Amino acid sequence: MAKILVDINVLLDDFLNRDVVCKELIDKLVESQSELFITASMAATLDYFLNKYEADKSEFKRKFFGRFKIITTSGFDALKALDFEDGEDALISLSFQRAVGEGIIITNDKGFPSNSVKVLTPKEALKQQDIFNNENNKTIPILDLKKQYYYLIEDIDNAVLKNIADAKYILGSQVKELEDKIAGYIGVKHCIGMSSGTEALVLSLRALAIKLKGQEYFDKTDGIITTPFTFTATGDAVLRAGATPVFVDIDPITYNIDPAEIRECLKSEIQNPKSKIRGIIPVHLYGKPCNMDEIMDIAKEYNLFVLEDVAQAFGGTWRDKKLGSIGTAGTFSFFPSKNLGGFGDGGMVSTNDDELAELMRMLLKHGGKDKYNVDHIGYNARLDTLQAAILLAKFKFIDEFNAKRRSIAEVYNKELSGIGGLVLPGNNSTPQLSNSLTQYFTNVHVYHQYTIRVLNGKRDSLQKHLKEKGIDTMVYYPVPLHKMEVFDGRCRVNGGLKESEKAVKEVLSLPMEPLVGQETIMKVVETIKSHQ
Amino acid sequence: MKVKAVLKGDRLYFTQRIVLKTSEVEVDVEVPDEAVQTVEPKGFSEELRSLFKKTPNAKVDWKRQWYKHLEEKYNG
Ligand SMILES: Cc1ncc(COP(=O)(O)O)c(C=O)c1O
């Protein structure tokens, strides 16, 4: 998909000079999947004519900037631009080149300084079929973070520049604002920003040890039940909190921890005099909610804490309750590729428990209310203000992005169904319509990943086939936790963990970029179908 | 079974809750003709052009006007 900057002279030639070539070009560009830009430096000229000809500005902004994104022109670009004969045009091409790298500028200006960006006139551009050809994608990435940045470019640039100028880099007001907004969204009393999803897990467990046992760490004899089919951090956090991970197998349909297996495990663990199970960490894998009714029932029965690992499921729900609001606490990751991702590491903990919240606020600042006089063995695990500012800008779009993910999943579900040797994600938690006029979702899957199971040992060859056709896929996860060296001798396993060991050989996550069009998804579908 | 539903944009909302026996069923929906947009929507350029209320419905030599504006602004 091409990234195209349209110069103001082409736009005004279309809107005011009623030039047929420029009109044809703009209409074709808008219909294409190309990403379209202007630079902030063009706003003065545009504004003059909007005023002069009494344009309906708010409607113009809504319509035009619904399709064209504005690239920030920086002081650095301006300094460089002054070395050129035409500084105004140089500023445009320098800013565009910095923001998009490879792109095309379309202008009526003959001597436009290209700064290694391709420059075309409208007439020349109309002849370049590949600009308008949506099938032009050379590769289909699993996720396109640049595309997401461009979609929100004005909000993000503003958040970053304002934060830098504010100079409140540590625990600035945006951290609290984000915590409050997310607490309101999830429906919990407290949200606490953390430096990563991993630290969110570790600090939650440390706070639980302090609250439940009155000691800094759990003991090795304290078992915490979790799934071996997850990211390393889930199990690693248990070790770092001093406890022993007790791995329980997954449900082969949902890939989430199997509540029946948890019961089995608890029955046998109860007879183990050297161990006491303290809690459960269910992981809402790929964005799909675990069966929280059963997990909470078990926890109540055995007096266990439940720490939801919501790293992959921001915005997902179980029976209308947001994930992270059901257990004792929930942990989130803002790793860039997550549904709500920052521009670096970040995380959060949600809880309704005042004591846990207070403990975690201490732990993340070296272990005390006063960092110069501390009570606990602490961490430096604060969420950066800059990340919080970016996340606030992205948070406004989370429901829209999650809905887009679900639409893509619907296309995959429909188009891939019936293909032999493929198992699609279980649909027992897809959105349902309600008895009222508003939408009503029971259990909402937020499709952090769209993961299929490829049977008959064909997973790796399908992945290779897709790669050859330029389609990226990923295996989440190739090794179950109990098979990793770090857990060797440091974990216990319940039964054979057969389903987890099978899943690592069969799962394949397909491209899931909320901003791509149906054509891209259909290309993935067709390529899967063409695999023998 | 006949049920009532409300069409909003491209989504159908049922006025009563239905639980399906199968995961999917295809249904025919009758939308009243008077509710359906029949005129072709304007293209992007046409729509934006129409937002400039004061343009003479003819070509505007905006470049000349822009230079004139700059001259007036900076030459006093
Ligand atoms: C299930 C799960 N838990 C924990 C984490 C750790 O989060 P982070 O990378 O922010 O430390 C991740 C993601 O990376 C994850 O997917």
Query: Beta-carbon neighbour count of residue A225 at 10 Å?
Result: 29
Q: What is the CATH number of domain A398-529?
A: 3.90.1150.10
Of ligand 1's listed atoms, the one at least distance from the Cα of A198 is: 11
Q: Does B43 touch chain A (CB under 8 A)?
A: yes
Of residues B12, B43, B60, nearest to A17 (C-beta): B60
Give the tens place of pLDDT for each residue, A163-204: 999 999 999 999 999 999 999 999 999 999 999 999 999 999
Say how many Å lie between the CA of residue A93 and the centre of ligand 1. 39
Q: Does A88 touch chain B (CB under 8 A)?
A: no
Cβ atoms of A172 and A388 within 8 Å: the answer is: yes
| Ligand 1 lined by A256 (C-beta under 6 Å) | no
A170: its two tokens: 């540590």
Output the CA torsion A231→A232→A234→A239 (10° steps): 170
CATH ID of A157-395, from 3.60.110.10, 3.30.470.20, 2.30.30.240, 3.40.640.10: 3.40.640.10
Of ligand 1's listed atoms, the one at least distance from the Cα of A285 is: 1
3-state secondary structure (DSSP) of residue A298: helix
Q: What is the CATH number of domain A3-136?
A: 3.40.50.1010
Kindly report the nearest CA distance between residue B33 and chain A, in angstroms: 22
Protein residue with its CA nearest to atom 10 in ligand 1: A197
* CA A154 from centroid of its chain's CA atoms: 19
Q: Which residues of B touch A30 (CB under 8 A)?
A: 44
A451: its two tokens: 């993961």
Whole-angstrom Cα distance, residue A417 to residue A415? 6
For B54, which residue in chain A has the nearest alpha carbon? A53
Of residues B45, B52, B61, nearest to A26 (C-beta): B45
Q: Which residues of A touch B6 (CB under 8 A)?
A: 437
**Is B44 in contact with A63 (Cβ distance < 8 A)?**
yes
Backbone angles phi, psi at A457, to 5 degrees: 70, 20
Whole-angstrom Cα distance, residue B10 to residue B18? 19
Which residues are bridge partners to A333 per DSSP? A347
Helix (H) or strand (E) holding A480: none
Select the more confidently predicted residue: B15 or A530. Answer: A530
3-state secondary structure (DSSP) of residue A438: coil
| Ligand 1 lined by A254 (C-beta under 6 Å) | no
A211: its two tokens: 């609250």
Mean pLDDT, residues B1-27 taken together: 78
- Reading chain A (532 residues) residue by residue, the pLDDT tens digits are 799 999 999 999 999 999 999 999 999 999 998 999 999 999 999 999 999 999 999 999 999 999 999 999 999 999 999 999 889 999 999 999 999 998 999 999 988 888 788 999 999 999 998 888 766 557 899 999 999 999 999 999 999 999 999 999 999 999 999 999 999 999 999 999 999 999 999 999 999 999 999 999 999 999 999 999 999 999 999 999 999 999 999 999 999 999 999 999 999 988 888 889 999 999 999 999 999 999 999 999 999 999 999 999 999 999 989 999 999 999 999 999 999 999 999 999 999 999 999 999 999 999 999 989 999 999 999 999 999 999 999 999 999 999 999 999 999 999 999 999 999 997 544 444 434 444 444 789 999 999 999 999 999 999 999 999 999 999 999 999 999 999 999 999 988 999 999 999 999 999 999 999 898 999 999 999 999 7
Delimit the domains of chain A by residue range.
3-136, 157-395, 398-529
**Is B45 in contact with A14 (Cβ distance < 8 A)?**
yes
User: What ipTM goes with this model?
Assistant: 0.81
| Ligand 1 lined by A347 (C-beta under 6 Å) | yes
